[in-house]
Structure 1
Amino acid sequence: MTGTVTLVGAGPGGRGLLTLAGAEAIAQADAVVYDRLVDGSVLDLLPLHAVRVDVGKESGRHPVPQDQINEILVCLARQGKTVVRLKGGDCYLFGRGGEECEYLRENGVPFRVIPGVTSAFAAPAFAGIPVTHRDCCSSVHIVTAHARAGRALKIDFASLVRLDGTLVFLMGLSALEQVTDGLLTAGIAPDMPAAVIENGARGTQRKVVATIAGLADRVRAAGLRSPALIVVGRVCGLSDTLDWFTSLPLHGKTVVVTRPRGRAGTLAARLRALGAEVTEAPCIETVERTDTRPLADALDQRHDWAVFTSPAGVQAAVHALRALGRDLRALYGMKLAAIGRGTADALADCGLTADLLPRQYDGAHLADALISAMPQGGAALLLRAAQGGRLLPEKLAAAGVRVTDVPLYDTVYRCEKADAIRALLEQGAADVVTFTSASTVEGFVQAVGAAGCAGFTALCIGGQTAQAARRYGMNVKVAANATIEDMIACLLEGV
């Protein structure tokens, strides 16, 4: 049975500008064919089993020709797959989406189209430029300024000048002087405001606003690079007044988030909302164990406290109990201890309230709090990773607590974006790498190599995490408390 192809416009920048319909289509895909300008955070929405085909199109470089892309789409669909053709911006605006749909129709492949937010509108909006304004203009015109190397642009500049509206030129940075000279020759006022916006709607966005006559020189001096677009019109004069994005506190900061897949989203979303450019690069995965006998044996013994050291441990406990035909009522009679707020929240999601949270969210302080709360000859059931640190159980045992340490899951070091992160570090483009556990540090080091770990700022929560980072020569900053809120506060203080 033939599958389907959905053309999805991914929008510019991160997944914040991806439509809900687009996100749903990506989450259901068996295969995705994507271009260079699709952000990695959008690809993170794909199921783990999905086939990824990078066709890498960029200005002046098409490693996979359009005819071959068309064939790839048909081939994947004929394998019965649910295929997403993912394009930056909007798939029908200078994206050759129409050609691809024609080819699909000719070959009997069902398709649908989910429009995306175009950079022609989003990038100016993020730069404080409304493409229309009652006091400035009543029309906007989008033009491709892409031409083959050495060839003149085929643009009727005289007609564009007569329209007296906002002009947005896409894919035109390499032809900037042709655009400005063409408009000036056609009679546009030399003092007409104009702008070039690089990396629109991203935390690394830069812009140059000048007169049309001086724009090319200013852009050259600023060193702006593709991807970038050109905006010409009186609305550009509003840029400084209406610029809201570059005033965000973390704008211009590039932050790498190493939390596991499925848990990075909260921190990443908060950072993006504050203007940061965020790369999600999970460096560890949790793999739940299928052998439930250790848990079954432990439940046959008496314990005063059930101790959880991560949200993953809470989730793994629920799943292991279910495999035993039981549920969280099996912990009846035990008090519940959580190492930190995130773990306590995971318990709350299951309808349970943590009876104990340490003053500081780490293993040492958790052990101290448990020892103080434990009855004489008490027993603790640790429900955690097989690779959990030894400090907690050893400190409890030294205080006379009977400890049952049940490994519910394994922490596996794996980073799909190792090459991309290594490149960021080599270029000095990563301002901060965040670590929420010692295991994320170890996973990161395995991914990028110890030699690449010196010289950047590592923002850590918890003493054990900081200690692990220091071992590899990282410039360590420690949040006041082991919470996401305190990590963000530390960044805002100018890490």
Structure 2
Amino acid sequence: MSQGKVYLVGAGPGAEKLITVRGLECLRMADVIVYDRLANPRLLRFAKPEAEFVFCGKLPKHHTLRQEAINELLVQKAKEGKTVVRLKGGDPSVFGRVGEEAAELAGQGIEYEIVPGITAGIAASVYAGIPVTHREYGTSFAVVTGHTKTENGRPIVDWASLGGVDTLAFYMGVKNLPYICDSLISHGRHPKTPVALISWGTMGRQQTVQGTLETIVQRVREAGLKNPAITLVGDIVSLRDQIQWFEKKPLFGRRILVARTGGEQGNLANALAEQGADVIEYPYFSVRGVENKTTEEMMVRSGEYERILFTSPESAAFFFEAYRQSGKDIREITPAFYTLSRRTKRKLQEMGFVSEQTEPFSAEGKWLIIGEVSILNDREKYETKWGPCDVMAVYKKEECREYNMNMVRLLREEGVDTVIFPSAASVGTLVRSLEQAGFDPRTVLSAASLICMGEKTAKAIQEAGYTVNRMAASPTLASLLSCLTFEKINV
């Protein structure tokens, strides 16, 4: 067996798009992903469906896996011939213990690569409107640990040597903030020196508290701010009032759950995140094409039908991919195309096909209804609605279990203030998935504002026993964003 390789990857400061291109490449090819609590779990959806996941999240006084066990795991999986990604929040070389892991791999003769990430001290700061250097405010910058493995946890720092550094960034120093402030003042920093603490930087839940060395401790206590946090000290902090940008986004501070039904990448979550929201997509699925003798036979006969109904965007994509691979001439397909949703209609338009979005109707001639494997159990239902038909499964949908488990964890820890249902089907899918995860749906749906896109979806929400708070004026992204921006939520 050939030996594998380990990639020690920085996931960035929190926002999923701040991972590097190389980091994303490594995630996509990994057989095993060993990930931390501070690595955005949304990144896990880029992994292969068959990848193995190991969570080694660390909380104060509680480690899922000790560092020694993590080192042993990386070596073991690489010796099994696996491609392993060790996914760490921020940059792995900035208080990320990558040196210890790399040394262990090197000692065991394991090939490895260190992939840098954007460190929180820089990213969280600039997302709070504070650049770490500026020609007029600070031309030097230092990062300092805010806690250590000592008995009292206080950082062991040569405080006098920090006196000549304009801007200081302390990592994870909330607990030791009084000691840090007192030490800086006693070693020459003016008590009026500006200070800012940024918790969960670059995320929609980002929280920033400002003060000075003599006032910041009390202000942080009043705000209830906790780790993970960056403490910035220096005159440059005063720039925040002038150039802060992220916290001014229209949906900043909102925590939104988007209920999903399919596996195709949508643009809704990205659009909400662009407006500053923290977004949870749940449940999430991976999709893959299916091939069997029956499907191949129906593919050959597809031109014999009067109408073809595509039940999802994925059904269109996989059908035409299978048709292309069959070697048949696409011009032999003569039936009219129908869809059940605007998303599927748009998918066909992107591929160069005209379709009609329609409600069920019966007519002379036979339908070919194309969808996911579960459609094979629904033939009778479709015949009742659409008349004589054949059903054809072109893809299989599977739950992304590790990703979904992490989304449920976030729901338990943080909750959401808004739930968006893009379709009627998303209502039942969300409720069933939460129940299967051992989570009472009422915990989420009764405490959040429920927003839907369309009357059919509103009806499905009401039939499930919940109240619709708002309905987008039209089933479009622009209308939904307008609806969300208009609605005020106490966050």
TM-score range (shorter-chain normalised) is: 0.7 to 0.9
* Aligned partner of 2:391 among 399, 406, 412: 406
* Aligned partner of 2:472 among 465, 479, 494: 479
Name 1:382's counterpart in structure 2.
369
Is 1:127 matched with 2:128?
yes
* Cα deviation code 1:151-191 (max 9, x no counterpart): 54311222212x14100001211100110011111121111
Name 1:47's counterpart in structure 2.
48
Give the SS at the match of 1:429.
coil
Name 2:14's counterpart in structure 1.
13
Structure 1 position 255, deviation (Å): 1.4
Is 1:442 matched with 2:428?
yes
**Is contact 1:479-1:487 (8 Å) kept?**
yes
Name 1:150's counterpart in structure 2.
152
Counterpart CA distance in 2 for 1:302 and 1:43 is 41
* Cα deviation code 1:124-145 (max 9, x no counterpart): 0000001011111110011011
Counterpart CA distance in 2 for 1:322 and 1:153 is 63
Pairs aligned (count): 473
Structure 1 position 315, deviation (Å): 1.9
Counterpart CA distance in 1 for 2:60 and 2:135 is 34
**Is contact 2:318-2:395 (8 Å) kept?**
no
State the AA in 1 paired with 2:145: T
**1:392 and 1:241, CA in 2 relative to 1: closer, same or farther beyond 3 A?**
farther
In structure 1, stretches of 5+ residues that fail to align are 358-365, 398-402
**1:67 and 1:419, CA in 2 relative to 1: closer, same or farther beyond 3 A?**
closer
**Is contact 1:454-1:472 (8 Å) kept?**
no
Name 2:344's counterpart in structure 1.
343
Counterpart CA distance in 2 for 1:436 and 1:230 is 40
* Cα deviation code 1:26-46 (max 9, x no counterpart): 101111111111111112211
Counterpart CA distance in 1 for 2:237 and 2:88 is 27
**Is contact 1:92-1:98 (8 Å) kept?**
yes
Counterpart CA distance in 1 for 2:421 and 2:285 is 11
Give the SS at the match of 1:53.
strand
Structure 1 position 63, deviation (Å): 3.2
Give the SS at the match of 1:32.
strand
State the AA in 2 paired with 1:430: V
* Cα deviation code 1:436-468 (max 9, x no counterpart): 333332221112124444332333333333322
* Aligned partner of 1:468 among 460, 472, 478: 460
Name 2:58's counterpart in structure 1.
57
* Cα deviation code 1:249-273 (max 9, x no counterpart): 1110111223256434522211111
State the AA in 2 paired with 1:408: A
**Is contact 2:260-2:430 (8 Å) kept?**
no
Give the SS at the match of 1:208.
strand
Name 1:361's counterpart in structure 2.
none
Name 1:331's counterpart in structure 2.
333
Structure 1 position 422, deviation (Å): 4.6
* Greater Cα offset, 5-14 or 445-454: 445-454
**Is contact 1:438-1:465 (8 Å) kept?**
yes
**1:206 and 1:443, CA in 2 relative to 1: closer, same or farther beyond 3 A?**
same
Counterpart CA distance in 1 for 2:400 and 2:25 is 25
State the AA in 2 paired with 1:136: Y
Structure 1 position 286, deviation (Å): 5.3
Structure 1 position 419, deviation (Å): 5.0
Give the SS at the match of 1:174.
coil
* Greater Cα offset, 406-415 or 20-29: 406-415
**1:428 and 1:9, CA in 2 relative to 1: closer, same or farther beyond 3 A?**
closer
Name 1:400's counterpart in structure 2.
none
Structure 1 position 241, deviation (Å): 1.2
**Is contact 2:310-2:369 (8 Å) kept?**
yes
State the AA in 2 paired with 1:155: V
Counterpart CA distance in 2 for 1:411 and 1:451 is 30
* Greater Cα offset, 407-416 or 226-235: 407-416
* Aligned partner of 1:492 among 478, 485, 490: 485
* Greater Cα offset, 50-59 or 381-390: 381-390
**Is contact 2:261-2:429 (8 Å) kept?**
no
Counterpart CA distance in 2 for 1:468 and 1:421 is 23
In structure 2, stretches of 5+ residues that fail to align are 436-440
State the AA in 2 paired with 1:468: A
**Is contact 2:9-2:23 (8 Å) kept?**
yes
Name 1:73's counterpart in structure 2.
74
